[in-house]
Amino acid sequence: MTSRRTRDRLVDRLIAKGISNPRVLDAIANTPRHLFVDEALASRAYEDAALPIGYQQTISQPFIVATMTEALLAGVEKHTRILEIGTGCGYQTMVLAQLVNLVYSIERIGPLQVAARDRLYDLKIRNVYIKHGDGFAGWPENGPYTGILVTAAPKAVPEELYEQLAVGGAMVLPEGDKNVQRLITIRRTANNYERSEGEWVNFVPMLSGKV
Ligand code: SAH
């Protein structure tokens, strides 16, 4: 159930759905998703589906993780540091950690932040910093970021995040109301922000404050 073959089947499914960046596919193939969910759900870990992780949150669907990661990498010459908002169990964090130098990630639910930090440490991921905080403020001390990826849905792009995006960088996030959002990509050019809209998605809402 956790074998290389099972993981490769997931990758084949992602290719069939249109994911083509080999680095993204490799990162997904190398990420043991069964270690990011409860043992009772481990047998379903390589299905292309979102699964519950407690606290009314979910581990994202692999296709969505791949789609957002591809969008984040596309058109950015070299990513040096990424800011992720919504660590959850840390699955997307580990995918990113294999593709860029440094990942900073923020989670508002304390026990999820601690569990994700410990899990990634056990998996020998050493280029990730995870803090317990409210992603609406971003993490200005370490910015600007060549990439910002938000894995919970705000109603509108949080203002603070625009400033923390480096020139030449990209921000990818679901934007909209509960249950129906659109994937948005924002690219920062020398004197502008360019916005493009992608597919319809369904993320948990981005909420203020930490708990
Ligand atoms: N990236 C995860 C998906 C996590 S679900 C994965 O790979 O599967 C979204 C997460 O965003 C939840 O854990 C939720 O608690 C968190 N979140 C929601 N609003 C937030 C905020 N304002 N700041 C930080 N995290 C937030």
Condensed to tens digits (0 to 9), the pLDDT of residues 89-146 reads 999 999 999 999 999 999 999 999 999 999 999 999 999 999 999 999 999 999 999 9
Query: 5-41: per-residue pLDDT in tens?
Result: 899 999 999 999 999 999 999 999 999 999 999 999 9
Ligand 1 pocket, 57 CB below 6 A? Answer: yes
Q: Which residues have C-beta within 8 Å of that of residue 159, sequence separation ≥ 6?
A: none
Task: Tokens for 43, please give them.
Answer: 């047998």
For residue 191, the CA-to-ligand 1 centroid distance in Å is: 30
C-alpha of residue 142 to centroid of ligand 1, in Å: 19
Domains in the chain, CATH or no CATH each = 56-201 (3.40.50.150)
Q: Is the beta carbon of 109 within 6 A of some atom in ligand 1?
A: yes
Q: What is the per-residue pLDDT for 179?
A: 83
Q: Give tens-digit pLDDT for 66-78.
A: 999 999 999 899 9
The finding on whether 92 has its CB within 6 A of some atom of ligand 1 is yes
The confidence score (pLDDT) of residue 1 equals 61
- Its pTM stands at 0.97
C-beta of residue 53 within 8 angstroms of C-beta of residue 33: no
pLDDT at 173: 98
